Chain A
Amino acid sequence: MKALIFLFSLVFSFIVQGEGLLLKGGNVHTADSEGILENTDIYIKDGKIIKIGKDLKVSASRVEDLNGKIVTPGFIAPYSQLGIVEIEAVAETRDDRSTVYSSGLSIVSAFNPHSTLIPYNLRGGITTALSVPSSSGLYSGLASSFSLSSSLEGSLISQDIALFGSVSSGEGSRAAKMLLLEDSLDVASRVIEADGWNDEKGLPSSSSYSSRDIIALKRVLSREIPLVVRADRASDILFLINFSIDKNIRLIVRGGSEAWMVAKQLAKTNTPVILEPINNLPGSFNQLGARLDNASMLNKAGVKILIASHETHNSYLSRQAAGIAVSYGLPWDVALRAITSNVAEVFGLKKIGMIKTGYKADLIIWDKDPLEVSAFAQQIYISGRLMSSESRSTRLRDRYLNSD
């Protein structure tokens, strides 16, 4: 009977959604300059946050009493393969790699809103993700942002918003990669789209770039989109910083194991860093300076940081990573911003990532501090809609828990 009532209330809440939802008395972590608003109400209508304040006098058709529970914006994964990888070792479930295109690879057409990773990571607190191709080579391709709503038609938020690449993987000389980075942008700058593109214009014959690839590079050159480069060694990062100044491009560093060594230069040039703070291993000779207080040191120097999980299937573990960064000195509110508003700001995702009037009502209600590994998302809203907390994983659990 209880379940029936719950079901009815759920159905009812959808029917009257347009009338508005009032979340009463939450401990609201806004992830913007307002900080934490205690005992505060949030009024939501038409998928947006309409009003925030104490004891709001609004006639909402649905009222949720939060009793001081923590409310945060939905978390945003700054780096994932959500929707483009189902099982890593099963090649036919992977749409994150291409040998045909490099910088021009856009993964939008491959994104699968019905991937099992989506409701699973939503349950962990991620409401929005950047899905990023991960081809090896200098450029891996263009990232797009998606809502984890599992909606067939409504998942895409913004398309081809950043170009991702890497100068630190593989075996050939990094010098060649840096040169190819330079050459490819130089060529792109000379190519006028109307002219078309041929290989005669200055790239090594072993490299192959299609016109689609060159167009992506032109967007980087015009500062329309940022170039996100995986780099870990301090000298690589420094090279990229200087390169970005020379070429007048927007650089974001990803990985950044040794970023703390060049924190000043990163801060001075407003270069954000996407970190996996949990990854403190000197896993390669590029990462010998990896350390757990990297995030804290970068923040102290004034660098904007974004925090990512180290595994796509558990993209939501960015919050554990954020918690670890906090235990090594990163202020809690900065850690929250590193998985919400900073991601939105750095990638130009509009009106998400904060709890703010006019923003998309992607909200999570937590049973405790969300950076704790034991924290559980009790309610998850995307555009003001209460999302199901089920996933394939909970279905399996329930089958075997009740199998006596």
Chain B
Amino acid sequence: MWKYFVIFLIFLFSSCSSEDPFNSDSEKNYQSTYSPDNSGDFVIIGARILTGTGEDYPSADVWVSNNRIKSIGVELNYPENIELIDATDKWLTPGIIDIHSHMGVYPSPSLRSSSDGNEATDPVTPHVWAEHSVWTQDTQMPLALKGGITTFHVLPGSANLFGGRGVTLKNVWSRTMQGMKFPNAPYTLKMACGENPKRVYGNLNREPSTRMGNVAGYRKAWIQAENYKEKRSPTRDLKLETLAGVLDGEILIQNHCYRGEEMAVMLDIAKEFKYKVTAFHHAVEAYKIADLLAENGVCAAMWADWWGFKHEAFDMVWENVAIVDQANNATGCAIVHSDSPIGIQRLNQEAEKARSAGVRAGFDIPRSRAIQWITRNPAKALGILDEVGTLEPGKMADIVIWNQDPFSVYAKTEKVFIDGLIHYDHEDPSTPKPTDFELGLLKPEGNRL
């Protein structure tokens, strides 16, 4: 009897002593184990560099030291015997970041047995984490690497109002998801507006079956999260832990939302419950409320031209990204995302579609700005801008060398560095490292390609 009482006391004590049960130590068990080898020192010389900070150097050098960028500029004071990589006549950009991917959770081949992106059994599933579905041997990942993708954010699907936590991964081959996990990147929470949740649950004759049902669903959940946070309940609740993490500002909201009016409503809900929408995803109608997004400091992650696959994607304009970018004296936060294993291989081309449409509409959008749509801005919206997204001293050396202007359909990557290590080199057929799945697939003695 005493034994149980002691255990009870210990339990009571341990739960009370924890300052913040919502960001409990238990999450530390899921930390990244990614740890790159030391890259040593080298300098990439003579490239045209779009830094992601807005700079466009006609010809400059990047000095990499111990996996980090040491310096960048035109006359760097590097030692004579340092390894040089000649990138004369090439273009150089930060590693490309896709803020909306389902790689690993909707892999190729696309099979029911590994389609693990939508826990479509209840509209409110903030307790599920995309990372627990990731198949690290997804063939899409090395293809994306060849497209310059060094970091990608894996989200659950959009069947649910709250789809679960997203995870940010480095695009490196690993046996484990933890070995890809971006060190110390904040968690995110996927929310979804519109047609998908109301269709999925409406078809089951459940709430939500309408857009107003969607909104009631979000609010009900946030009220529960508020209560949970206030009461500091000793009983853990996985759903409410995640929602409370959002209210505490530690988990970033990534909100699938197409229509202008729905995005405006979501901003009201965020005000009611005092959380921030970090980015609207897909946001086909963002151009209709671009000023509102800029005022509220909310990013919009968009496609260049996808449309028409459902009603809420009917009002697409080629200028969407540019209008968001240029809103309120060019203070908007525009992101070009893929949501597609095809699109992720060429976000540079998607950015150019959007940039050229904007230029034709009369906006002044140089390449140095448009590159931010696929580097700096997604890094910002993922809470990892202090580590990646731009080429600045101290940041991770995630770098892409392109054979020509990356805003051309003919551009290809030549070298892709992640933390200063070459993961793809067009002259080395053993890169990108094939996935386990691809070994001996078409021929026992060969790889997939």
Contacts and interface: CB of A to CB of B under 8 A. Distances in A.
Interface of A: 86-90, 117, 278-285, 287-289, 291, 310-314, 317, 320, 323-324, 326-327, 371-374, 376, 393-394, 396-397, 400-401
Nearest to B313: A87
Nearest to A320: B409
Contacts of B306: 311, 313-314
A87 B314 contact: yes
Interface of B: 108-110, 139-140, 143, 195, 287-288, 290, 305-311, 314-319, 323, 341-342, 345-346, 349-350, 352-353, 355-356, 360-361, 407-412, 438, 441-442, 448-449
B305 A314 contact: yes
A289 B287 contact: no
Given A313-B308, A393-B317, A372 B409 contact: yes
Given A282-B108, A283-B108, A289 B448 contact: yes
Given A279-B342, A310-B342, A311-B306, 18 more contacts: A87-B314, A88-B310, A89-B310, A278-B342, A280-B345, A281-B108, A281-B342, A282-B109, A282-B139, A289-B442, A313-B306, A320-B349, A372-B410, A373-B353, A374-B407, A393-B307, A396-B315, A400-B287
B408 A372 contact: yes
B349 A313 contact: no
A283 B110 contact: yes
Nearest to B316: A393
Given A289-B448, A397-B361, A374 B308 contact: no
A327 B412 contact: yes
23 contacts: A87-B311, A87-B314, A89-B195, A89-B309, A89-B310, A89-B311, A280-B143, A282-B108, A282-B139, A283-B108, A284-B109, A312-B308, A314-B306, A324-B346, A372-B408, A372-B409, A373-B349, A373-B350, A374-B407, A376-B356, A397-B287, A397-B361, A400-B287
B434 to A, nearest CB: 11
A397 B139 contact: no
B91 to A, nearest CB: 14
B145 to A, nearest CB: 13
B381 to A, nearest CB: 23
A281 B352 contact: no
B360 A376 contact: yes
Nearest to B345: A280
A373 B441 contact: no
A394 B143 CA distance: 34
A308 B195 CA distance: 29
Nearest to A124: B305
Contact of B410 (A287, A317, A327): A327
Given A289-B449, A314-B306, A327 B411 contact: yes
Which 7 pairs, one residue from A and one from B, show the smallest C-beta to C-beta distance? Answer: A323-B409, A374-B356, A313-B308, A89-B310, A397-B317, A327-B410, A88-B309
A316 to B, nearest CB: 9
A291 B409 contact: no
A400 B411 CA distance: 33
Given A89-B310, A393-B317, A397-B317, A283 B305 contact: no
Nearest to A399: B288
A282 B448 CA distance: 9
Contacts of B110: 283-284
B302 to A, nearest CB: 14
A172 B316 CA distance: 38
A212 B42 CA distance: 70
B356 A373 contact: yes
A288 B442 contact: yes
A122 to B, nearest CB: 14
A83 to B, nearest CB: 13
A70 to B, nearest CB: 15
A281 B139 contact: yes
A281 B438 CA distance: 12
Contacts of A291: 449
Contact of B353 (A86, A374, A394): A374
Candidate in A278, A289, A401 with the most chain B CB atoms within 10 angstroms? A401
Nearest to A317: B305
Given A284-B109, A288-B441, A90 B310 contact: yes
A327 B319 contact: no
A324 B109 contact: no
Nearest to A397: B317
B308 A86 contact: yes
Contacts of A320: 349, 409
B352 A87 contact: no
A396 B308 contact: no
A283 B195 CA distance: 26
Contacts of A289: 442, 448-449
A283 B323 contact: no
**Among B109, B290, B346, B441, residue most surrounded by chain A Cβ atoms (within 10 Å):** B109
B342 A285 contact: no
A401 B408 CA distance: 27
B433 to A, nearest CB: 16
Contacts of A285: 109
Nearest to A401: B361
Nearest to B353: A373
B323 A117 contact: no
Contacts of B139: 281-282
B303 to A, nearest CB: 10
Contacts of B410: 323, 326-327, 372
Nearest to B287: A400
A289 B139 CA distance: 12
A400 B356 contact: no
A374 B315 contact: no
A52 B282 CA distance: 47
Contacts of B342: 278-281, 310
A397 B318 contact: yes
Contacts of B412: 327
Given A289-B449, A327-B409, A401-B323, A117 B308 contact: yes
Nearest to B319: A397
Nearest to A376: B360
A376 B318 CA distance: 12
Contacts of A288: 109, 441-442, 448
A298 B351 CA distance: 30
B213 to A, nearest CB: 19
B310 A87 contact: yes
Contacts of B407: 374
B140 A373 contact: no
Contacts of B140: 281
Nearest to A375: B356
Contacts of A400: 287-288, 290, 317, 323
Nearest to A312: B308
A374 B361 CA distance: 13
Contacts of B341: 281
A116 to B, nearest CB: 8
B426 to A, nearest CB: 12
A279 B345 CA distance: 10
A323 B410 CA distance: 6
Nearest to B360: A376
B113 to A, nearest CB: 12
Contacts of B442: 288-289
Nearest to A261: B442
B435 to A, nearest CB: 10
A281 B143 contact: yes
Given A289-B448, A371-B409, A397-B317, A88 B308 contact: yes
A279 B307 CA distance: 18
A191 B379 CA distance: 66
A313 B449 contact: no
A374 B365 CA distance: 13
A310 B342 CA distance: 10
